[in-house]
Copies of this chain bind each other. A is one copy, B any other.
Amino acid sequence: MANAVTPVILGLLSLGARSGYDIKTTVDRSTRFFWAASYGQIYPELRRLEREGLVEGEDAPNGSRPRRIYRLTAAGREELESWLRSQGQLLIEHRDELLLRMFFADALPRDEALILVETRKRIFEEVLETLHGIDDMPGEDPQFVDLVLRWGIAYTEWETKWCTEQLERLQGAAATA
């Protein structure tokens, strides 16, 4: 995989032919929660993948508005499957500024520190609404696409639950202190 968008492009095309614009739109509704992608990566990579023979582009203009949809070639599907089966080190990288703030919350008075936990809870509640909105969208998703959406909802619910529990615990401790 040449770069970070490569598997996203091959993967999304395995679910159906799409334009670069479609890929970006789909990413923004699905993988962006754990794997983002921008136009600046997608368009150059599509052309590179076509040169390499992993995808095939076809002009499909809407009237005189240009449009090019890509489909996976046999070689592209093989490449995708080989990535899915690969054993190497897989990347997990989180940047979570809310956690970072909680980590240093000892520098604040206790009541203000607790607000940070409340804020985290509120933000995940908002994410949960977004995810339910996606879940309610019409159309059947492939099984594992759906599985990952379930994961997102379950994870987000877990986060809000954790915040609630910790707030109770910390506030309880304050009462008995």
Contact = CB atoms under 8 A, between A and B. Distances in A.
B101 A84 contact: yes
A97 B77 CA distance: 18
A137 interface: no
Query: What bracket does the count of chain A residues touching chain B fall in?
Result: 35 or more
Interface in A138-154: 142-145, 147-148, 151, 154
B92 A34 contact: no
A102 interface: yes
B14 A104 contact: yes
Interface stretch (A54-62, A105-113, A128-136): A105-113
B92 A93 contact: no
Q: How many copies does the complex hold?
A: 2
A11 interface: yes
Contacts of A144: 102-106, 113
Nearest to A10: B104
B108 A81 contact: yes
A147 B31 contact: no
Given A91-B95, A92-B97, A102 B147 contact: yes
A94 interface: yes
Of A96, A123, A143, the most chain B CB neighbours within 10 A belong to A96
Contacts of A106: 14-15, 142-145
Interface of A: 4, 7-8, 11, 14-15, 30-31, 33-36, 77, 80-81, 83-85, 90-108, 112-113, 116, 123, 142-145, 147-148, 151, 154-155, 158, 162, 166
12 contacts: A31-B100, A35-B100, A36-B93, A77-B107, A81-B108, A84-B105, A90-B101, A92-B96, A94-B95, A106-B144, A151-B162, A154-B162
